[in-house]
Amino acid sequence: MWTRDQQAARAAKELQDGFYVNLGIGMPTLVANFIPEGVDVTLQSENGMLGMGPFPFAGEEDPDLINAGKQTITELDRTSYFSSADSFAMIRGGHIDLSILGAMEVADNGDIANWMIPGKMVKGMGGAMDLVAGVKKIIVLMEHNAKDGSAKFKTACILPLTGKGVVDMVISELAVLARPAKGAPFRLIELAPGIDLDMLKARTEGHFEA
């Protein structure tokens, strides 16, 4: 089984030199710590920045410089700033290579649900619907099962969708599932150490090719 850091490191292996990448809030943020040596990626923040740098040192925080999680960050030599309309032109227009985000449910047809639980206070979808609709490749980084033990990779999402048929790869603490194209079935790519196919199947509801 992979730890959260190992899951993030596994996701970082999907980064390619020259990629423009948007990382979601939570576990996906950890991926920035594991960018492989020799691979140069530019991180996009949907509030209007390309070339996101690390967190500032104490005393150097700038309230005019935050990421989409509203955290203070820094700029790099390559950084550019732009409006929210330009930011989502990049996202919706297919100019961003990869988005890594969390999810509550993913279906084996690529549907994703990560913004709303009916009956609970809904905070909003933020940029998630635009990201899954427009970014070239979508990787979901999530725990394999919900707190009640139910499978999060399902035959169909129960929760309201964020996007339909959009997910390309799922990385959980147990395995990597991926498909070569939208519309194709998911396939098992890799098992975490100590996990075998039967264990994975016992904890998975959605269909995948072994």
Which stretches of the chain bind other proteins, using CB under 8 A?
Answer: 45-49, 54-58, 60-73, 75, 81-85, 87-88, 91-92, 111, 116, 121-130, 133-134, 160-165
Based on CB atoms, which residue is closest to other proteins, 144 or 154?
Answer: 154
Per the structure block, which two tokens stand in for 161? 């969708």
Considering the complex, what minimum distance in angstroms separates the CB of residue 54 from other proteins? 6
Based on CB atoms, which residue is closest to other proteins, 21 or 175?
Answer: 21
Considering the complex, what minimum distance in angstroms separates the CB of residue 39 from other proteins? 21
Considering the complex, what minimum distance in angstroms separates the CB of residue 87 from other proteins? 7
Considering the complex, what minimum distance in angstroms separates the CB of residue 32 from other proteins? 12
Instruction: In whole angstroms, give the CA distance from residue 35 to residue 72.
Output: 21
Helix or strand run (H / E) with residue 76: strand 75-81
Instruction: In whole angstroms, give the CA distance from residue 51 to residue 41.
Output: 9
Active site residue 46: yes
Scored b (16 or more CB within 10 A) or e, 40-63 reads ebbbbbbbbbbbbbeeeeeeeeee
**CA-derived radius of gyration, the chain:** 17
Which single residue is written with the structure tokens 């790869």?
169
Contact 73, 52 (CB under 8 A): yes
Based on CB atoms, which residue is closest to other proteins, 18 or 93?
Answer: 93
List Cα–Cα distances, 52 to 20, 24, 40, 75, 166, in angstroms: 11, 13, 13, 6, 25
Based on CB atoms, which residue is closest to other proteins, 166 or 175?
Answer: 166
Point out the catalytic residue in the list 14, 37, 46, 105: 46
Give me the active site residues, please: 46
